[in-house]
Structure 1
Amino acid sequence: MKSGLSWSVRAAFAAALALTALPAAATVGGSFLVAARAAPAPSGAQSLCSTYSWACDGRAGAQRSREMDLVKRVNRSVNASTREISDRSQYAREEHWALPTRRGGDCEDFALIKKRELIRSGVAPARLLIATALDRQRRSHAVLIYRSAGGDVVLDNQTDRLRGWQQTGYVFLRMQDPADPRRWVSGFTSR
């Protein structure tokens, strides 16, 4: 993701920062990201649905027993087997959302491969949503959100540890719409 912040990202950051002052549950997955409004897809995700139809599949399904163990395994496995490389180094441009290549991938590539592997393993696509955020250093970042029964859990290439979205210290900017992953939403609070 780009390291410089555009005016719209700074405005979204300011709005999201105000929301982080809200009381937060401290347990993993203790709450869900609830969006206030529709948002445009991130620039690199404009053709995401046409390139990877599974990435925008909204089929629901019951949570399976031991699914969280599977989510943890996939997160660790992808983090261990995929090298981090910027889009600038790999594609000679700032933003390109794609599955990792043999050379590796950047944060949204990690999120995509995790989503694909979890869908292939039987996790309902509607419970796997890609989100963009500002990380703890306020750099642009992308993660995969797993909608567990207890709340939204973040799969992140920066750690093997799963955390509830409020525990990350990230400012969430946009996420695939849980009602229709072809769309994006923003303006988050918790429920």
Structure 2
Amino acid sequence: MKTKNILISGLLAIVASTGLASGAAATESYYGHPAFASVSGQTSIPVGHAEFCTRRPAECSPTLGAIDHVKLTDTLWDELQLVNNHYNISITPVSDMDLYGVPEFWTYPVNGYGDCEDIALAKRAALIERGWHPSTLLMTVVRQANGEGHAVLMVRTDRGDLILDNQDALIKVWNDTPYTFLKRQSQAHAGQWVDIIDNQGGSVTATAGY
């Protein structure tokens, strides 16, 4: 219980620093606040996700009844913590090259092993099973400080866009992470992606496997 309270307090402090009132529902007027990532037009789908969609087309279709964000209640915050912690602890990070002998292969974790996008996919599927709307759970590609690509799950809430990351036990608002954000899934279509306008670097188009 103590850990939970610390995490919630930390999140609320971050959100408060952006000018969003604690507990206030986000509306269109909030966009432009740094707690919410802005996007530009449609962009290329990551190669690994394109191949994933070929294998699992039902998971990459237009999103019916898409919503902009979810209102983050205490119960939903607990679910985010539970799912994030479960997969961060239970899945051992291993590269696609070591697992499959290829540079990039997006899939669900197998036998307790997977890389960043596999873990993010598993978190997304688990939250959808719990009733979260797919349009609020977006696979996202970022660039780390060392220049390497990385995948996380962006969760769109009225407290801001939250990041579930296998490299960090804490769930943080997107702009409180050390990454440059490149692109994410479209909320309207799970098989399409849009560029993210990063506050620090503008709209960045990813290359290579991302």
The amino acid across from 2:121 in the alignment is L
Q: TM-score normalised to the size of structure 1? A: 0.78
Equivalent residue runs for 1:27-42 within 5 Å: 31-42=35-46
TM-score, length-normalised on structure 2? 0.71
The count of residues paired between Structure 1 and Structure 2 equals: 167
Q: SS in structure 2 opposite 1:108?
A: helix
Q: Distance in 1 between matches of 2:61 and 2:176?
A: 26
The 1:55–1:80 alpha-carbon spacing in structure 2 relative to 1, beyond 3 Å, is: farther
Kindly indicate whether residue 111 of structure 2 is the aligned counterpart of residue 102 of structure 1: yes
Classify 1:64/1:141 alpha carbon distance in 2 versus 1 (closer, same or farther; 3 Å).
closer
Amino acid at match of 1:43: V
Q: Which has the larger radius of gyration?
A: 2
**Counterpart Cα distance in 1 of 2:175 and 2:19:** 7
- Alpha-carbon distance, 1:189 to partner: 4.6
Alpha-carbon contact 1:54-1:116 (below 8 Å) kept: no
User: What runs of 5+ residues in structure 2 fail to find an aligned partner?
Assistant: 1-16, 23-32, 200-210
What percentage of residue pairs aligned between the two structures are identical? 30
- Contact preservation (8 Å) 2:37, 2:196: no
Gaps of 5+ in 1: 1-23
Which sits farther off after the overlay, 61-70 or 90-99?
61-70
Spell out the pairing of 1:9-28 with structure 2 (5 A cutoff). 25=18
**C-alpha offsets along residues 44-87 of structure 1, whole Å, 9 cap, x if unaligned?**
11133343433656243664742121011100010000011000
Does residue 48 in structure 1 map to residue 52 in structure 2?
Answer: yes
Q: Residues 26 and 92 from structure 1, CA distance in 2 versus in 1: closer, same or farther, beyond 3 angstroms? A: farther
How far is the alpha carbon of 1:26 from its aligned partner?
Answer: 8.7
Q: Please identify runs of 4+ aligned residues in structure 1 that moved more than 3 A.
A: 24-30, 54-57, 59-65
Choose between structure 1 and 2 for higher RCO, CA contacts under 8 A separated by at least 6 residues: 1
| Aligned match of 1:89 | 98
Give the deviation of 1:88 after TM superposition. 0.3
